[in-house]
Structure 1
């Protein structure tokens, strides 16, 4: 593969522990020559290239190429995994004294791919199995790896010339394009490299014959046998309505990915409150964010001190949607703690006031300095201006705050977000979110100053009539305020919340449900923990330990970053949502940090990171549905699917060649820049999918539309 990327600073280095000589690498090309055995996909001898373990030799570790997702022929980095070894160099021969499992990347972020630079390759493969990827790469096959095999297919479909046949290979079939899938089992692992090529050449011919015979034997949808229809329907999900007024229907919230205690608390809350699971989930995660934000930082590649782990949550719910009940049940131990602190504050304030009256007026100023007036410990606010919040931060009255309200209109339509004040407020909120920092500088004010290491969690819930204006406000979107929010817009369950005698009895004992008590007890334990401090020249300062990613979680996070980056490309799902998609990786790290802390883990492991990525992926899909919600007329996507349906029924088929479909589409979408976004939306909402037949791309309709 071509490898000519030059870095201004060395992106990798290797120091020989015997001689002390250091070799720095400024280009991928030089790094490959010095450290990578390209033929065998492994690290060369005497390569001390892991920056976290610079005295461990990475020799013989697997070295998997990372390529530019927009140019699959360009290697931009390597993923290294295996066992690194440390030697006692004072002995001859050197004696191994330690070894560690490692998994890290060097160079730029990319996707795993191999041998994709051959213009004359007979086919290219996509897989979701890393061991299979390594086997195929070593056999000289052109192959792309992604944890989602359908995504792997999309990568090769978008990144390879149309003249190259595309196939998928793995153990579990994909959701889409199942007729291009080659299923393998353990016996495949025993095939020698020289037989693997013939294996796939044979499979390629079988697939082509199968597709051609299918086109000949099944040209008319109406004539398809019943069992064949059922088979095809099994591979499709039900279409999601394209009407903008029904886009409020949401995909299921991925609670199955969450840790057990968190997941059970969500299910119990949704059950007792009779609220959508997504609403309960947002409230639970917001509570965890508030508890963890003052205890740990999230990992950040460019800052060893990390970044604030606090998060912003926004949830839509109709009037009577049980928003308030969700918050009250979930936040029970936090509210109890707040009440205890407030009661203590009131008592101390009464004592202070009583004592202050006994002090002579001429001595009062000094007495007040020695005996500061107690401050209100309230840290959860339902309605507060940015000016008041900043004042509290600067005066040290509040360090960890939460703006938690079941009436989002109080915030979006309040004093802070009106007129010229809105831009200033947005800047202040984003600075708090990004840096945990705020500043106030006003003429003739004694409230001026700066505050560092402050934290803020948002948990806003509101009705659609309130949110719709805010969520489509270009200032809130483009200035980056809304892209910092994790969004959920679940479908209302009104009309399904009937009671039985048994449910009423169970409801009386809800506070003894172990699903809730386990969650609440962990919340109470965290509330008792004191924030660690460090001593420096200016006295005690907060110390936020960084919740680091495990090696496996780091690779998973890398895949998620690349996934979101690729989907921002032209014609892709998030092309017009770049402010949202580009922040997904950061939000996943933050959510991973607070989940890991709540679970009392020492690092963000792969299970926690997988849960965090699933939640942020769901939020992106919610923002995607809201992106054009203000349009009420028939969309171009609706016009396109109507045309495709009419054309297919007329010709008695379920497929149209893509180029033919674009030429005959409604006039306003006959150019690629208008046609492709509509087609992508139809794919996203399960109306159509793309298949490759005889090197041509076809649009295939969901069989449910043709019944």
Structure 2
């Protein structure tokens, strides 16, 4: 029940000097969680990263002041994009997979992912531009050869048509056409590694016909997940394409009006940032396909706490030595000779295997995760994601190895242990995210409102906000209607996170001071 004005006056008479208008915390019960099991974020295992990677991550994070997990994940994605064309990773004789990573960071705009990506992919962009410039004469020659070839083909076809009209033999012309088809000039493989907003089918065509290794790097992945290509009528087909690319399998695209094609021996890295609300809407439209198809399970998930509001201006250092060393190593990796398969369109990567000690570490990690998939296990709610954790650990270990040692020798125990720690951290983040997403719509809205009320009260050093203001400025537009706000507000009242008080025709929403800065009892 809302408090009377007399009760409100009596309660607000006890004022904490650091926060005017704040009730004494001892007058409030402890706030309850908002339903369902929740998990606290774990610190990112920074020390698990090999020294050169760690040093670059620390340097970039210090300057950008972006969330550490975001920075580290961007660095790993850059290594994935550079190395994926050169190696596969072998877990056993029947389990040989790419080392490509899919990663997704859940954060609001303004967390500086674009800035951080820019630091870690600068060497990739430079390489891509340099290759395009160096190969331009070869591309020009190909264009001329292709035009000449097309003219010859058109001439033969016209000759066949003319001979057929006159009932003359065409055998010799047909043989010439067959020979010409076999001599079609092949387009040079100019490295196109970076993609922004592109549909999965367009991406598949580019990987099949242009260059077989690439990456989607986007700080506004809502454009991708909300695109026409992810509409309800095509989402299953496009999720299947992306799943196959992560697996390193073969995917055939049949078209009615344009050229059909098959993607095989191609590699894809994805590193995305998306707002939770946008992703929730995508999940709703996908109708369970994103999880049911295993799409989300393939991603390394990060849900870092925002650093916005805690990033005072800092003068940049004269140089970023550790980042320069990181990018120099990325350039070295990209400059290695790339092997293509017999078709000339796909890749033929080398295979990295584990040494005996690394295999023992990986096996223990696999079995530990598997044991927690039972109904009573800690990972039972994220079985789909957990089933890919050991695969991702192997991929990360391969990337650590390539970064430090190249594509020779075997993955060692230290790198495997480190990779398992990183993979486990991302698995914990997936569990934290999916536990939140499994909340009812009312609880999800209650959590958004709860977060906003606490943020507003802390900023103003008060513990109450008028209901009219909430109806005008609530963080979710749906809550700006009274009929929608009241049941969500009741969730917070039932959890002892807020109360309400009335004065005349005005209603105040009062936040439990134990949730606010300086409000510990």
* Range of TM-score over shorter length: 0.5 to 0.7
Corresponding residue of 1:285: 76
Checking the alignment, whether the CA contact within 8 Å between 1:548 and 1:604 is kept in structure 2 is yes
Q: Which moved more, 1:458-467 or 1:584-593?
A: 458-467
Q: Is the aligned partner of 1:518 residue 2:325?
A: yes
Q: Counterpart in 1 of 2:64?
A: 273
Residues 1:417 and 2:216 aligned together: no
Residue 112 of structure 2: aligned partner:
322
Relative distance call for 1:360 and 1:493 in structure 2 (3 A) is closer
CA separation of 1:442 and 1:348: change in aligned 2, threshold 3 A = same
Q: Paired residue for 1:338, among 125, 128, 132?
A: 128
Contact kept in structure 2, 1:241 and 1:247, CA below 8 Å: no
Q: Could you say which residue in structure 2 is the equivalent of 1:259?
A: 50
SS of the aligned residue for 1:546 comes to strand
Displacement, 1:436? 3.5
Give the Cα–Cα distance (whole angstroms) in 2 for the partners of residues 518 and 359 of structure 1: 46
When structure 1 is superposed on structure 2, of 623-632 and 291-300 the one drifting more is 623-632
RMSD, matched Cα: 3.4
- Is residue 2:218 matched to residue 1:405? yes
For residues 561-572 of structure 1, the aligned pairs below 5 Å read 561-572=366-377
**Structural mapping, 1:509-588, within 5 Å:** 509=318, 512-532=319-339, 542-588=347-393
Structure 1 runs not aligned, ≥5 long: 1-238, 639-705
> Deviation of residue 403 (structure 1)?
1.1
Bigger RCO of structures 1 and 2 (CA < 8 A, at least 6 apart): 2
Could you list the per-position Cα deviations for residues 347-388 of structure 1 after superposition, in whole angstroms to 9, with x for gaps in the alignment?
Answer: 655666678889995588879966556676422111122222
Q: Distance in 2 between matches of 1:319 and 1:567?
A: 35
Q: What is the Cα deviation at residue 471 of structure 1?
A: 5.6
Q: Once the two structures are superposed, what CA deviation does each residue of 1:462-512 show, in whole Å capped at 9, x if it has no partner? A: 22332333467621012100000000010001111102xxx4142xx2xx3
| Aligned equivalents of 1:246, 1:578: Cα separation in 2 | 16
The 3 A distance-change label for structure 1 pair 540 and 375 is closer
Q: Decide whether aligned partners of structure 1 residues 341 and 539 sit closer, same or farther in structure 2, where only a CA change above 3 A counts.
A: closer
Shift of 1:424: 0.9
Post-superposition Cα deviations, 1:335-358, rounded to whole Å, max 9, x if no partner, equal 111122233455655666678889
Report which of the two has the higher share of strand: 1
1:514-546 CA distance string (max 9 Å, x none): 211211111010111012467x7x789743222
- Superposed CA deviations along residues 37-64 of structure 1, whole A, max 9, x for unmatched, are xxxxxxxxxxxxxxxxxxxxxxxxxxxx
Is this contact kept in 2: 1:273–1:322, CA < 8 A? yes
Q: Which residue of 2 aligns with 1:381?
A: 195
**Residues 248 and 491 of structure 1 are in contact (CA less than 8 Å); yes or no, is this contact kept in structure 2?**
no
Q: What is the SS of the residue equivalent to 1:628? A: helix
1:452 aligned partner: 264
1:614 aligns with 2:421: yes
Distance (whole Å) between structure 1 residues aligned to residue 141 and residue 258 of structure 2: 30
Question: Which sits farther off after the overlay, 350-359 or 275-284?
Answer: 350-359
Cα distance in 2, alignment partners of residues 513 and 303 from structure 1: 43
1:427 aligns with 240
Tell me the residue number matched to 2:486: none
Aligned partner (choices 290, 308, 315) of residue 504 of structure 1: 315
Closer, same or farther: CA 364–336 of 1 in aligned 2, 3 Å: farther
Corresponding residue to 1:595 among 396, 400, 409: 400
Number of matched pairs? 388
Q: Name the structure 2 match of 1:441.
A: 254
* Cα distance, 1:400 vs structure 2: 0.5
Corresponding residue number in structure 2 for 1:34: none
- How far does residue 572 in structure 1 lie from its aligned partner after superposition? 2.0
TM superposition shift of 1:390: 2.2
Q: Which position in structure 2 is the counterpart of 1:477?
A: 291
Q: Secondary structure at the match of 1:619?
A: helix
Structure 1 CA distance for aligned equivalents of residues 32 and 304 of structure 2:
15
Whether the aligned pair in 2 keeps the contact of 1:390 and 1:439 (CA below 8 Å) is: no
Deviations 1:284-336 (A, max 9, x none): 001111111111111132527x2111111111221111010011011110011
CA distance in 2, matches of 1:465, 1:458: 20
Structure 2: state its 5+ residue gaps.
1-29, 156-179, 448-519
Q: Distance in 1 between matches of 2:67 and 2:352?
A: 31
1:73-104 alpha-carbon deviations (Å, 9 max, x no partner) = xxxxxxxxxxxxxxxxxxxxxxxxxxxxxxxx
Distance 1:357 1:241, change over 3 A: same
Q: What CA distance in whole angstroms lies between the structure 2 residues aligned with 1:359 and 1:452?
A: 27
1:107-146 alignment, distance < 5 Å: none
Label 1:524 to 1:416 Cα distance change in 2 as closer, same or farther (>3 A). Answer: same
Change (3 A) 1:634 1:364: closer
Q: Provide the C-alpha distance between the structure 1 equivalents of 2:88 and 2:266, rounded to a whole number of angstroms.
A: 12
Q: Which residue of 1 aligns with 2:460?
A: none
TM-score, scaled to structure 2? 0.67
Counterpart for residue 297 of structure 1: 88
Measured after TM superposition, the shift of residue 603 of structure 1 is 1.7
Q: How far apart are 1:246 and its partner, in Å?
A: 12
CA contact (8 A) 1:437 1:452 kept: yes
Whether the 8 Å contact between 1:317 and 1:323 is mirrored in structure 2 is: no
For the 8 Å contact 2:352–2:411, the answer to whether it is kept is: yes
Contact 2:212 2:347 in 1 (8 A): no
Change beyond 3 A, Cα 1:453–1:413: same
Looking at structure 2, the residues matched to 360 and 261 of structure 1 have their Cα atoms a distance apart, in angstroms, of 51
